[in-house]
Each structure stands twice: as C-alpha cells, then as structure tokens.
Amino acid sequence: MVVVGLSPDEAKAQGIETKVALFPSAANGRAMSLESTDGFVPVVARSSDHRILGWQAVGVQVSELSIAFVQSIEMGATLEDIAGTIHPHPTLGEAVQEAALRALGHALHI
C-alpha cells in the first residue's frame, strides 16, 4: 500500500471540496500479467481547480508508483496534467493516468 498526500476524509475534514476517482487493477494490463487484479489506485483532487491533493494505491508492486505520486503533488499537478502525460503500456503507471482520466470523466479502459 502507498499513501501520499490527503485522503478523501482528510480533505473533507479540512473543508476542501474534492473530486475522487478510483481505477481498479482489474482493468490494468500489467496488474493482469502479475496476476494481481484486486488492487486499485484512487486520486483526490480539489474540485475548484483539479489540483491533485492525494493518491493511494493497493496491490502488488504499487510502491513503484510512489515517486509519481510525490512528484505530482510537489509540482502542483492537476488532473489534466496527469491525464495528458504519456504513460507506457503495459505498466502499473497507466493506472495513475487512468485514475486522473476517470476523475475527469474520460477513463479509457473502464
């Protein structure tokens, strides 16, 4: 498990209105090849400007995603920034892009 930044509950406790989206590992090609499809990647973003406030990930090898999570928060990335960045296939990192796309209503694989 990896947790970076705010959870949905922590953001709510701070009075922040959020967009939250979860991408399931069952729809990720790399997770399927690892036979680990029971995980997920959720993103938490501020509703007003889509700035990413937090990420979580559960599943096999999700620690690989921690630098992407930290970097997106540190640089002040928005959902659109992550959605518009190329993520190679098949990788667990695709779930990062897919979570952002889903928060924007545009997930590709679900």
User: Which residues are catalytic, by number?
Assistant: 89
Contact 38, 59 (CB under 8 A): yes
CA 37 from centroid of its chain's CA atoms: 16
Side by side, which strands form the sheet with 40-46?
Answer: 2-5, 52-57, 40-46, 18-24
Read off the amino acid at residue 33.
Answer: S
CA 73 from centroid of its chain's CA atoms: 11
